[in-house]
Structure 1
Amino acid sequence: MYFTALLARTEDGWEASDTELDDVETLSDLADLAREASPDEDTVLVLIEQEDAWFGVVRVDGEEDPRVFVSNASVAARSSYGELLLTDELLGREPGEDDTDLDALDLDGTEDGDPEDAAGDEDGGTAEAVPNGPVGDSALLDDLGVSAKELLALEGDALSEIADALGASEILEAVR
């Protein structure tokens, strides 16, 4: 089960809206959707959460490139929303460099049930293609009251904790 929301910073504080990502196919599409939520080019945060498995934050400031943080790349890689965020650039690889077809992975992250592939063996296993753990810009919320250290330590209902630090917990809960 996924939860997605947009938090747009305005002169009056944060405004939250529930959002559907069914028609979003790329990170660029997601950034465009976020920009539409703030015609004044203010900061917009896209918050994505898959139960307690992983969460992602995309920050869009006007026309700047989106900044992305994903709490657990290997888990997010197995979800459709996670695939939106896990670009080659974010994973530190050249476009098309991925040796592993993520669609061929079993639910546990192994290819064809082979646990050695998920462990990241010398032959270029899955762990090399998608790191196990956080990826991206952990400092993307520093100026908003959530340090990189705090973001990296979040577990469970991370989006609520982020919204609380932003002073936006009530409006986020209203769209939940």
Structure 2
Amino acid sequence: MYFTALLARTEDGWEASDTELDNVETLSDLAELAREASDDDTVIVYIEQEDAWFGIVRIEGEEDPRIYVSDGAAAARSSYGEILTREILGADLDAELDELESLDLDGTEDGEPLADDAAEGDESADAAESVAVPSAPVGDGLVLADLGLSERELRALDGDALGVIADALGATEILEAVR
């Protein structure tokens, strides 16, 4: 179960809304959704999965989104988290995950029989180990620094991360209305 919130900074302060991510399949989709909420202002998208991880995507105008994820490994195992971790960790992760997806359940590639050579049999295990997404924060730790939440504070968040973020932004009351 996911909780998502969209915080858009306007001339009058922050506006909050919960947002549905049903049609979001890529980071571009998420950025487009955020840009629809506010043309040139700062938009913060908060995504949380049952206290396992949270992610922050900051969009400002047409600039590239800035992303932070509290636990890369936990996020990579979920649909929306995978979108964020793939963007943060780059094309290397894409190639490694594609290689893993080509493996059959018996550990062979494309249904080929297991080779007698032990080294060849270890390739699938090596591929799985090389996709080591850290069980630690990944991404731009300074994503909210200019808005009142330092990198150190952000990396220390757990539990009610959204509440602390909303406090730092001065948007607690507005955000509680959508919760």
Task: Give 1:124 shift.
Answer: 4.1
Q: Does the aligned pair in 2 maintain the 1:74–1:127 contact within 8 Å?
A: no
Counterpart of 1:108? none
Check 1:126–1:33 CA distance in 2 against 1; reply closer, same or farther (3 A cut).
farther
TM-score, normalization by structure 1: 0.82
What letter corresponds to residue 94 of structure 1 in structure 2? Answer: D
SS at match of 1:69: strand
Counterpart of 1:84? 83
Question: CA RMSD for the aligned pairs?
Answer: 2.3
The yes-or-no answer on 1:57 pairing with 2:56 is yes
The yes-or-no answer on 1:68 pairing with 2:67 is yes
Counterpart of 2:128? 125
What letter corresponds to residue 76 of structure 1 in structure 2? Answer: A
Q: Deviations over 1:12-58 (max 9, x none)?
A: 1100011000101100110010000002x000000001121100000
The yes-or-no answer on 1:171 pairing with 2:174 is yes
Aligned residues: 158
Q: Which has the larger radius of gyration?
A: 2
Q: Report the structure, 1 or 2, having the larger helix content.
A: 2
Q: Deviations over 1:50-77 (max 9, x none)?
A: 1211000000000000000000011011
Q: Does the aligned pair in 1 maintain the 2:68–2:139 contact within 8 Å?
A: yes
Unaligned runs of 5+ in 2: 105-124
Q: Does the aligned pair in 2 maintain the 1:5–1:46 contact within 8 Å?
A: yes
Q: Does the aligned pair in 2 maintain the 1:68–1:137 contact within 8 Å?
A: yes
Structure 1 residue ranges, 4+ long, deviating more than 3 angstroms after superposition: 92-96, 124-129
Q: Deviations over 1:58-100 (max 9, x none)?
A: 000000000000000110111111122122x411443742243
Check 1:95–1:79 CA distance in 2 against 1; reply closer, same or farther (3 A cut).
closer
Whole-angstrom distance in 1 between the partners of 2:70 and 2:173: 23
Q: Deviations over 1:119-145 (max 9, x none)?
A: xxx924346442221110010101000
Whole-angstrom distance in 1 between the partners of 2:130 and 2:92: 16
Counterpart of 1:142? 145
SS at match of 2:126: coil
TM-score, normalization by structure 2: 0.81
Check 1:71–1:127 CA distance in 2 against 1; reply closer, same or farther (3 A cut).
farther
Counterpart of 2:44? 45
Of 126, 130, 154, which aligns to 1:151? 154
Check 1:83–1:95 CA distance in 2 against 1; reply closer, same or farther (3 A cut).
closer
